Structure 1
Amino acid sequence: MASRHACRPGFLLMVAALAGAATTAAQAACPQALAVYSEAGSNAEIAFSGPLGEADSMSHRFGLSFAGSGVMMEGVVMMAGEPDRPWGVVLHECPQGDATGAEIDACTVWQGPIYALDESGGAGWLTLAAGPQPASASLLLPDFSAAVMQSKAWREKRIEHLPGDVFRLSGCQE
């Protein structure tokens, strides 16, 4: 027997709106340490790794994946630069264990400040891992796209679509 609401377009719109509101509310309550961001043009995704241990000197750790390519990169956020600010580093295929500075330089895809963008387009620094800070609406990694073009994964055509520099909050790991 069909539901009495099944053929009413207004009911379907209301259900869709409530589902979207629930997703938005869940994302709004998401702590930065568990946030997932997507870049629409390439389907690249940044997934933060969760709370860090006391002994970890990084503010955040994250994985960066490129859909359909199998390419995975690792990222960290630490305080660095002049002036001191959240500084991101994205690495690809680095040697395991102790590595020389030259080896780390060779596997560094991108590094720079990470900006947090709010819903109105305002920019600030990415929040640090201390405490359950809410996830930023979007992340800006300046010149990330240009850096990916210089990477081994791009040159070997393992990544087919260049990501942009802005990643939008798309989910939360629980």
Structure 2
Amino acid sequence: MLTNRMMTRLAPVRWAMMAFAVNPALALAGECVQEKAVYGDMDDAYELRFEPMGSESSVSNKFKLAVRNTNVVADGVVTRTDDQKRADGRIMFECPEGDVTGADLRACTVWQGMVYASDLKGHISALPTEGESAAERLFLPALGPSIQKSSLWGEGKATVAPWDVLSLKGCYQ
């Protein structure tokens, strides 16, 4: 039988377990590598899922952005600036295959900008590369307004503009 003293000593453990149950990102961030991280917006309208690269290229990260409750999925890539300190991201939807022109690429680009990582305290850093611990949050400036002005927006596609901050919601194996 547990005494009052033992119950008092176990209370912090119980609170920690409840905190991780309420916010699984607290438990996942240190255990998940960036290329397996899954993020969501606060309206649960979008899911951003990173994927392993599998080969050497100028791209440091790749991901898929899915519009929930639809079949719409856009492709995303991240390249590093020359100093390797900044991550330039691009989300593209229904880009033509093969030899494309700059105009073709601009026409299918939904969003382009810097991708920032953040911890739960709001400290901003560069997006982790493959093999590094996943960021707890991502910040993609002007993502929502960009989607509203793109080919990703409309009937049967996106109808909710996401917030610019996406939170870690899981890690797939």
TM-score bracket, normalised by the shorter chain, equals 0.7 to 0.9
Query: Quick one: distance in 1 between partners of 2:168 and 2:66?
Result: 15
- Extract unaligned runs of 5+ from structure 2: 1-13
Query: Quick one: distance in 2 between partners of 1:171 and 1:137?
Result: 10
Alignment of 1:108-127 (within 5 A): 108-127=109-128
Q: SS of the counterpart of 2:153?
A: helix
Q: Shift of residue 102 of structure 1? A: 0.6
| CA gap 1:20/1:55 in 2 versus in 1, 3 angstroms | same
Residue matched to 1:135:
134
| CA gap 1:95/1:82 in 2 versus in 1, 3 angstroms | same
Query: Quick one: distance in 2 between partners of 1:28 and 1:78?
Result: 23
Q: Are residues 1:151 and 2:153 paired? A: no
Q: Contact 1:81/1:87 (CA < 8 Å) preserved in 2? A: no
Q: Contact 1:42/1:162 (CA < 8 Å) preserved in 2? A: no
Residue matched to 2:7:
none
| CA gap 1:82/1:156 in 2 versus in 1, 3 angstroms | farther
Q: CA RMSD in A?
A: 2.7
Q: SS of the counterpart of 2:161?
A: coil
% identity of equivalent residues: 33
Q: Are residues 1:49 and 2:57 paired? A: no
Which amino acid is 1:139 matched to? L
Count of equivalent residues: 160
Q: Shift of residue 22 of structure 1? A: 9.7
Q: Shift of residue 42 of structure 1? A: 4.6
Normalised by the size of structure 1, how large is the TM-score? 0.81
Normalised by the size of structure 2, how large is the TM-score? 0.82
Q: Are residues 1:101 and 2:102 paired? A: yes
Which amino acid is 1:149 matched to? Q
Which amino acid is 1:116 matched to? A
